[in-house]
Amino acid sequence: MKIHLTSVFVDDQAKALRFYTEILGFEKKHDVPVGETDRWLTVVSPDEPAGTELLLEPVGHPAARTYRDTLVQDGIPLAQFAVEDVNAEYERLRGLGVHFLQEPQEMGPVTTAVFDDTCGNLIQIATKP
C-alpha cells in the first residue's frame, strides 16, 4: 500500500494552480472539469511525476472550510512538503513574495518553516539537517 493522492482545500483553484506551479514549482498532472465550476486538479513534484498527487480541492463543503480555517487560526499547517534545504527554500520563496508565519527553525532532527499558500492554508516545509 502507498499514498497515491492527498489534498489541500483551496478557495480558488486557478489561483492555487498558479501558486503551486509558478511559485512552489510543482507540475500540473490532471485538470478535468467537474460540474460547472470545479475541476479535478492535481499537481505533482517534477522530481516524481508518477508519485503522489496533490489535489487542489475546492473548499465548498462547510465542514471542510471550518476544518481548514480552524487549523489556520490555530497556526497548524494542513500539509508538509519535504525540501533539500529549508533555509535555501525559505530564501527562494521569500524572494518570490511568499509570506512565512514561521522562519526556519530547528526542531530536533529536522528544520521546518511555515508559510501561507495564499489559498487558505498553512503549509510546512521540512528537511533533516
Mean pLDDT for the stretch of residues 74-92: 97
Non-local (6+) Cβ contacts of 99 within 8 A are 115, 116, 118
pLDDT of 129: 62
- Percent of the chain predicted with pLDDT > 70: 99
What CATH class has 5-127?
Answer: alpha beta
Quick: pLDDT tens for 53-77.
Answer: 999 999 989 999 999 999 999 999 9
